Amino acid sequence: MQALLTVIATWLSINYGLPATQDYPKVETAAPVQMAAVRHRALAAVGPQHAAESGSSAPADGGENVFAIYDDATRTIYLHDGWTGITPADSSLLVHEMVHHLQNAAGMTFACAGEREKDAYRAQARWLELFGRSLEDEFGIDAMTILVRTNCMG
Protein backbone atom coordinates (compact mmCIF):
# COMPACT_ATOMS: atom_id res chain seq x y z
CA MET A 1 0.00 0.00 0.00
CA GLN A 2 2.85 2.41 0.79
CA ALA A 3 4.22 2.08 -2.75
CA LEU A 4 0.81 2.90 -4.25
CA LEU A 5 0.38 5.89 -1.91
CA THR A 6 3.84 7.14 -2.94
CA VAL A 7 2.99 6.88 -6.64
CA ILE A 8 -0.35 8.64 -6.14
CA ALA A 9 1.05 11.40 -3.92
CA THR A 10 3.87 12.07 -6.39
CA TRP A 11 1.47 12.05 -9.36
CA LEU A 12 -0.88 14.46 -7.57
CA SER A 13 1.97 16.75 -6.65
CA ILE A 14 3.28 16.87 -10.23
CA ASN A 15 -0.11 17.22 -11.93
CA TYR A 16 -2.11 19.29 -9.43
CA GLY A 17 0.46 21.24 -7.46
CA LEU A 18 -0.56 19.59 -4.21
CA PRO A 19 2.24 19.36 -1.66
CA ALA A 20 4.20 16.13 -1.81
CA THR A 21 4.39 14.43 1.54
CA GLN A 22 5.39 11.08 2.91
CA ASP A 23 3.08 11.61 5.86
CA TYR A 24 0.50 9.22 4.49
CA PRO A 25 -2.97 8.67 5.88
CA LYS A 26 -4.14 5.50 7.50
CA VAL A 27 -6.06 3.41 4.99
CA GLU A 28 -8.77 1.03 6.13
CA THR A 29 -11.60 -0.87 4.56
CA ALA A 30 -15.04 -0.47 6.06
CA ALA A 31 -18.65 -1.40 5.48
CA PRO A 32 -20.75 1.28 3.75
CA VAL A 33 -22.73 1.90 6.93
CA GLN A 34 -19.49 2.70 8.80
CA MET A 35 -18.44 5.13 6.08
CA ALA A 36 -21.87 6.76 6.16
CA ALA A 37 -21.42 7.29 9.90
CA VAL A 38 -18.04 8.96 9.28
CA ARG A 39 -19.62 11.20 6.66
CA HIS A 40 -22.52 12.08 8.98
CA ARG A 41 -20.06 13.00 11.75
CA ALA A 42 -18.05 15.18 9.32
CA LEU A 43 -21.16 16.95 8.03
CA ALA A 44 -22.39 17.56 11.56
CA ALA A 45 -19.03 19.13 12.40
CA VAL A 46 -19.14 21.63 9.51
CA GLY A 47 -22.84 22.40 9.86
CA PRO A 48 -25.84 22.33 7.55
CA GLN A 49 -24.57 25.22 5.40
CA HIS A 50 -21.96 22.80 4.04
CA ALA A 51 -24.25 19.80 3.65
CA ALA A 52 -22.54 18.55 0.54
CA GLU A 53 -20.06 15.75 0.15
CA SER A 54 -17.25 16.09 2.65
CA GLY A 55 -14.37 14.27 1.05
CA SER A 56 -16.45 11.37 -0.19
CA SER A 57 -16.40 9.49 -3.49
CA ALA A 58 -20.07 8.74 -3.25
CA PRO A 59 -23.53 10.07 -3.85
CA ALA A 60 -25.35 11.70 -0.95
CA ASP A 61 -27.46 8.69 0.04
CA GLY A 62 -28.02 6.51 3.07
CA GLY A 63 -24.70 4.74 2.74
CA GLU A 64 -25.30 1.81 0.42
CA ASN A 65 -23.35 3.48 -2.40
CA VAL A 66 -20.52 4.97 -0.36
CA PHE A 67 -17.31 3.90 -2.08
CA ALA A 68 -14.69 5.83 -0.11
CA ILE A 69 -14.36 8.69 2.33
CA TYR A 70 -11.57 10.66 3.97
CA ASP A 71 -11.82 11.61 7.63
CA ASP A 72 -9.88 14.85 8.24
CA ALA A 73 -9.91 14.44 12.01
CA THR A 74 -8.29 10.99 12.05
CA ARG A 75 -6.40 11.39 8.76
CA THR A 76 -7.91 8.10 7.60
CA ILE A 77 -9.08 7.00 4.17
CA TYR A 78 -11.92 4.48 4.37
CA LEU A 79 -12.44 2.32 1.30
CA HIS A 80 -15.45 0.06 0.73
CA ASP A 81 -14.98 -3.41 2.18
CA GLY A 82 -14.74 -5.02 -1.28
CA TRP A 83 -11.85 -2.73 -2.31
CA THR A 84 -8.83 -4.57 -3.71
CA GLY A 85 -6.88 -1.83 -5.49
CA ILE A 86 -6.52 -4.06 -8.52
CA THR A 87 -8.84 -2.22 -10.91
CA PRO A 88 -8.46 1.32 -12.24
CA ALA A 89 -11.79 2.15 -10.56
CA ASP A 90 -10.48 0.98 -7.19
CA SER A 91 -7.21 2.88 -7.47
CA SER A 92 -9.11 5.98 -8.61
CA LEU A 93 -10.98 5.98 -5.30
CA LEU A 94 -7.64 6.14 -3.51
CA VAL A 95 -6.56 8.99 -5.82
CA HIS A 96 -9.74 10.95 -4.99
CA GLU A 97 -9.30 10.52 -1.25
CA MET A 98 -5.54 11.23 -1.38
CA VAL A 99 -6.40 14.64 -2.84
CA HIS A 100 -8.37 15.32 0.34
CA HIS A 101 -5.54 14.06 2.51
CA LEU A 102 -3.03 16.33 0.77
CA GLN A 103 -5.46 19.26 1.00
CA ASN A 104 -5.85 18.55 4.72
CA ALA A 105 -2.10 18.15 5.29
CA ALA A 106 -1.50 21.50 3.57
CA GLY A 107 -4.14 23.23 5.70
CA MET A 108 -6.09 24.30 2.64
CA THR A 109 -9.46 25.94 3.23
CA PHE A 110 -12.48 26.10 0.98
CA ALA A 111 -15.67 28.15 0.75
CA CYS A 112 -17.70 24.95 1.05
CA ALA A 113 -17.28 21.18 1.00
CA GLY A 114 -18.23 21.08 -2.68
CA GLU A 115 -15.37 23.38 -3.66
CA ARG A 116 -12.99 20.92 -2.02
CA GLU A 117 -14.22 18.23 -4.39
CA LYS A 118 -13.19 19.98 -7.63
CA ASP A 119 -9.58 18.82 -7.66
CA ALA A 120 -10.51 15.42 -6.25
CA TYR A 121 -12.94 14.67 -9.09
CA ARG A 122 -10.59 16.20 -11.66
CA ALA A 123 -7.72 14.00 -10.49
CA GLN A 124 -9.91 10.90 -10.27
CA ALA A 125 -11.23 11.47 -13.80
CA ARG A 126 -7.74 12.02 -15.21
CA TRP A 127 -6.43 8.90 -13.44
CA LEU A 128 -9.23 6.84 -14.98
CA GLU A 129 -8.47 8.32 -18.42
CA LEU A 130 -4.95 6.87 -18.14
CA PHE A 131 -6.67 3.48 -18.32
CA GLY A 132 -9.24 4.40 -20.98
CA ARG A 133 -12.03 4.69 -18.39
CA SER A 134 -14.26 7.47 -17.11
CA LEU A 135 -16.13 8.47 -13.98
CA GLU A 136 -19.39 7.95 -15.83
CA ASP A 137 -18.47 4.44 -16.98
CA GLU A 138 -17.13 3.33 -13.60
CA PHE A 139 -19.40 5.16 -11.15
CA GLY A 140 -22.25 6.70 -13.15
CA ILE A 141 -20.95 10.20 -12.37
CA ASP A 142 -21.57 12.53 -15.32
CA ALA A 143 -20.52 16.14 -15.91
CA MET A 144 -23.75 17.56 -14.48
CA THR A 145 -23.37 15.54 -11.29
CA ILE A 146 -19.81 16.82 -10.87
CA LEU A 147 -20.97 20.39 -11.47
CA VAL A 148 -23.59 20.08 -8.74
CA ARG A 149 -21.25 18.34 -6.27
CA THR A 150 -18.39 20.80 -6.72
CA ASN A 151 -20.12 24.14 -6.39
CA CYS A 152 -21.19 26.08 -3.34
CA MET A 153 -24.95 26.32 -3.25
CA GLY A 154 -26.34 29.38 -1.54
pLDDT score recorded for residue 45: 64
Task: Say if CB 61 and CB 140 are below 8 A apart.
Answer: no
Confidence of residue 20 (pLDDT cuts 50, 70, 90): confident
For residue range 131-140, what is the model confidence (pLDDT) as tens digits? 999 999 999 9
Q: Rounded mean pLDDT of 6-13? A: 95
Q: Is residue 51 scored above 60 in pLDDT?
A: no
Whole-prediction pTM value?
0.86
Pick from 27-36, 43-52, 89-98: least confident: 43-52
Q: What span, in angstroms and rounded, lies between the C-alpha atoms of 30 and 50?
A: 24
Q: What span, in angstroms and rounded, lies between the C-alpha atoms of 33 and 66?
A: 8
Q: Is residue 47 scored above 80 in pLDDT?
A: no
Q: Is residue 72 scored above 80 in pLDDT?
A: yes
Q: Is residue 121 scored above 50 in pLDDT?
A: yes
Instruction: Give me the torsion for CA of 85, 89, 93, 98, rounded to 10°.
Output: 80
For residue range 73-107, what is the model confidence (pLDDT) as tens digits? 999 999 999 999 999 999 999 999 999 999 999 99
